[in-house]
Amino acid sequence: MMTYTADKDRYDGRMNYRRCGKSGLKLPEISLGFWHNFGDIDDLGEARAIMHRAFDAGVTHFDFANNYGPPPGSAETNAGAILKQDFSQHRDELTISTKAGYHMWDGPYGEWGSRKYILSSLDQSLNRLQLDYVDIFYHHRPDPDTPLEESMGALATAVISGRALYAGISNYPAELAVKAFKILRDMGVPCLIHQPRYSLLDRWIEDGLTDTLIEEGVGCITFSPLAQGLLTDRYLKGVPENSRAAKESGFLQRSEVEQEISKVIALNEIAQERGESIATMALAWTLHHPAVTSTLIGASSVKQLEENLQALKSPAFSKAELLKIDQALKG
Ligand SMILES: NC(=O)c1ccc[n+]([C@@H]2O[C@H](COP(=O)([O-])OP(=O)(O)OC[C@H]3O[C@@H](n4cnc5c(N)ncnc54)[C@H](OP(=O)(O)O)[C@@H]3O)[C@@H](O)[C@H]2O)c1
């Protein structure tokens, strides 16, 4: 197998790094997510090439969760082997995150927000990733039945015990997020970051969460900025065979593609007028929001990653373009 030598010019200005809230940590504007494309069902040669290309482009943040695959856990196991083989000497240049919250193993302790689940899940993730610590450890979703103090207490223990450097939360609505921030602050482990879904097709965070994050000095990394591929040219001529919507995996539904495609076509026209692809416009648009630290993409090929990285060179949005985008989204 070929050995990997990182591009020595990877920090020559090709990537911008933004401060994460009021913390000392900077994140690349584009981060790489491992939800899909790194599982046992995927082409691991391509997966390895995606990691190499990303790092060479200055993408210093890789995002995992316990359940990424499929099967659950396999993304951490597969990428963990690649991290060990190719990135050991770059560990201190990488911000690696993982999460616990969704179903991971059977029985009463395999999901949600108990201390029992969260801390054993982190230990399992560290084993699979072959790492001593992760940089960011998230509670993946709020648990309506566990006291928030318990879930946040588990995150604080993860940090205080050295298994994680920072704590984060994901999918928390604004009001609950504020409570979580206070609990974490009181425990001496300020929340670094919130990870919500955000794209041209899902703007829920603009309704209170982003203002809260700015006020609280908490960073924001937006997931599914391409709406799982819908905001690219992938579905402009129907649903191609190897696409996420064709896989019937229950993540991106064909019906969602059919429902949204007229907006995508209108957005594509605006992107073309701007001289770029709809994917790069969609990514640049998420980065245009002042609350956003980084936008978290997925890619099933190096080619997709290459296109997505072009978002770093997107022209600034004029007021007229932003209005046109809002108009296109009204359908
Ligand atoms: N915290 C949470 O609850 C949560 C939830 C979801 C995701 N996430 C995180 O966010 C990351 C990104 O989520 P996502 O994968 O949904 O992000 P996304 O960037 O919206 O979608 C990625 C998918 O879109 C397609 N794609 C990407 N670039 C393309 C291009 N240039 N041209 C055509 N198609 C393209 C590919 O799908 P094909 O398979 O069709 O090629 C790719 O796998 C995840 O990996 C994970 O780390 C977090």
Q: Could you report the per-residue pLDDT of 247-264, keeping only the tens digit for each?
A: 867 689 999 999 999 999
Task: Please state whether the peptide bond connecting residue 225 to the residue before it is cis, i.e. omega within 30 degrees of 0.
Answer: no
3-state SS track over 39-52:
CCCCCHHHHHHHHH
Going by CA atoms, what residue is nearest to atom 11 of ligand 1? Answer: 33
80-126 pLDDT tens trace? 999 999 999 999 999 999 999 999 999 999 999 999 999 999 999 99
Instruction: Ligand 1 pocket test: pick from 42, 67, 297, 305 the residue with the most ligand atoms within 8 Å of its Cβ.
Output: 297
Instruction: Ligand 1 pocket test: pick from 223, 242, 247 the residue with the most ligand atoms within 8 Å of its Cβ.
Output: 223
3-state SS track over 207-237:
CCHHHHHHHHCCEEEEECCCHHHCCCHHHCC
Q: Whats the size of the chain, residue-wise?
A: 331
Query: 149 CA distance to ligand 1 centroid (A)?
Result: 32
What is the sign of the dihedral through the CA atoms of 72, 77, 82 and 88?
positive
Q: Of 161, 140, 149, 115, which Cα lies nearest the Cα of 223?
A: 140
What's the rounded Cα separation, in Å, for the pair 169 and 123? 18
Place 331 in a pLDDT band, splitting at 50, 70 and 90. Answer: confident
88 CB contacts (<8 Å, ≥6 apart)? none
Which amino acid, one-letter code, is at 154?
A: A
Which amino acid, one-letter code, is at 90?
A: H
Which amino acid, one-letter code, is at 118?
A: I
Pocket of ligand 1, beta carbon within 6 A: 33-37, 63, 140, 170-171, 195, 223-229, 232, 234, 243-244, 279, 296-300, 304, 307-308
- Domain architecture of the chain: domains with CATH: 17-233+287-316 (3.20.20.100)
Place 2 in a pLDDT band, splitting at 50, 70 and 90. Answer: confident
Find the DSSP H helices in the chain.
Answer: 44-56, 74-87, 115-129, 148-160, 174-186, 209-216, 254-273, 278-288, 302-309, 319-329
Quote the pLDDT of residue 308: 98
Residue 222, SS3 per DSSP:
strand
What's 317's DSSP letter? P
What's the rounded Cα separation, in Å, for the pair 10 and 211? 33
Going by CA atoms, what residue is nearest to atom 5 of ligand 1? Answer: 223
The distance of Cα 30 from the centroid of its chain, to the nearest Å, equals: 9
Residue 189, SS3 per DSSP:
coil
What's 3's DSSP letter? -
Q: What share of the chain has pLDDT > 70, as a percent?
A: 99
DSSP 53-77: HHHHTT--EEE--TT-TTTTTHHHH
Quote the pLDDT of residue 250: 65
